[in-house]
Chain A
Amino acid sequence: MRQTKIIRNVWLGIENLLLHKLRSFLTMLGVVFGVGSVVAMLSVGEGASKEALEQIRKLGSNNIIVSSIKSAEEEATSTQHSHMSIYGLTYEDYRRVATNFEGVQQAAPVKLTRKDSRLRERAMELRIVGTTHEWFELVPRQVLAGRVLLHSDQEKQAPVAVLTEFGARKILATEHTIGQTVRMGGDQFEVVGIVKSESGQAGNIQIPDQEIDAYIPIEVARRYFGDIFTKRTSGGDEREMVELHQILVRVDDPKKVEAVAAGIERMLESSHKKKDYVVSVPLALLKQAEATKRTFNIVLGSIAGISLVVGGIGIMNIMLASVTERTREIGIRRAIGAKRKQIIYQFLIETVVLSTTGGMIGLGVGVLIPFLITYFSGMTTLITLNGILLPLLISMTIGILFGLYPAIRAAQVDPIIALRHE
């Protein structure tokens, strides 16, 4: 009963608004754009934070990535012919980080090299990483076939290789390749598994398994390939001696990630003469992403908020005009016996109908915008239930807030004066 009454009142409000279709439409435009921008903003913001989280997940949120870089001085001298640059992380660095370093749970060394390789009649250059079984715990990736590196491979210094999905595709390996021999450089390796690879980067940190084709035990890599690499460049051969290219570190407690990173930084500082390493913390990226998102939300939120307020003022303005225009009608209703609160109710329903209709149209616009953004820029956008309910709630509130004053004005109309009003 009560419910049908509300529906009836809403319907009467709609009827009245339909008497002035163009005016009603123009009145709600402000709310349409306000809500539209709120919805669009929320979805872009949500999308960005989802994307950031996804990246952090790929990098490992408890991880620290220490990478070798050529120091600035080294960069300057390396152009000289037959010069060999020596830089980067050492086996000693790895040993110190991996054993008894405060807060470190696990660490994996990374030694990168490129070798001409051959699987049956298919020949390709593969990017090879020498590492330990810990790698696969620090950077968990789905095993597509076979297995990953084991502790026993290390002990036995077994010539085994785990291909990434990416590398497997390059060299035309399939699950049937497991157990077959792949030749890398001058040596034979047994293919023992294929793992899924992820690509992408977050900020300036690359996903650790970006551009890796095959994993082999690090001891094997060291024994077979050594620490000296020759890069062919246009100016002749360039030789480098790098023991380790990366050390992946997992911290036991996410709260300690930054402190441990600082500890590693200090330790490296004391043992390296040059700054030929960089310590990156994916978690810091997350914080950075969140800070960016917050700023983003504040800026766009205030713009959206301003347009909503402007929309609300537009509605209020028109409703005030409408009250003046309908003074006589109000007088008639009051003379017949309508109470003040019933007049308030009538006008309030009209504004709320206006603003919520505007809100719903705005929702449509606001859903379309992120869709177009994703379509044209490839940026991730995400529309959540909150992203829909919040703007509708806001538009309803706007209707009540900005409708209240005109409605109260309407209720203050003196019926005697109103009835004389021509």
Chain B
Amino acid sequence: MGAIYVLWLRELKRYARSRVQVVASLGQPLLYLIALGYGLSPVFRRGGEGNYLEFVAPGVIAMTVLFSSLFSGIQLIWDRQFGFLKETLVAPVPRLHIMIGRTCGAASTALIQGLLVAAVAVVAGFRPAAASGLPLAFAFLALIAVVFTAVGTTVGSTLRDMQGFQMVMNLLVMPIFFLSSALFPLDHLPGFLVVLTRIDPLTYGVDGLRGALIARGHFSAVLDLAVMGVLAVALTALGAWRFARIEV
């Protein structure tokens, strides 16, 4: 247990020390909120769907967590290249604990990043419908973080070099984001998009988040929670299995 804690703490320390990157990484979500939230709002309103900023803010917050947690896998490759991974793997600690500590750390930083963007969204004019939904919203953000950190760990344990990792991630991240419910409502979609959005895990994360924040979920919160919960467990198990097979 001690190992999980110290490895978690390590990720947080490193995150806290990269303030410049943290601030810089808020730029893109801010742009999405302003350009999409305000730019598309008139059209969205004319379509009878209400305030687009309100609709898209949960999607942008989820996007931040998605990017941050997926790309956390690069830290694994980095640690392997620079040798620190060996130091942890030779310690008298089960590998599973090492993996869990790293995952918790990476997921926590992704979550913090999401909360920062949530704060930015509030500054930009976003207001959650009711404070009572916030704990559930937090739970959905945490689930998104765990699910995609596990994907990052799986890919990072499997590939050795950074270029390969970047390539796979770029292949994954854009479809996951754009083919989810982050940017558009799930009703009245053409058939193929109905299929694509429903096989995208992020759809359920964003939907749950939106339900909790502005009471506009498409599915029930229970379904969203169930899908994300099962995925979190299954993908973390997959990540642990890949991590156990790393040779340094």
A binds B: no
Interface residue ranges, B against A (CB under 8 Å): none
Residue positions of A touching B, CB distance < 8 A: none
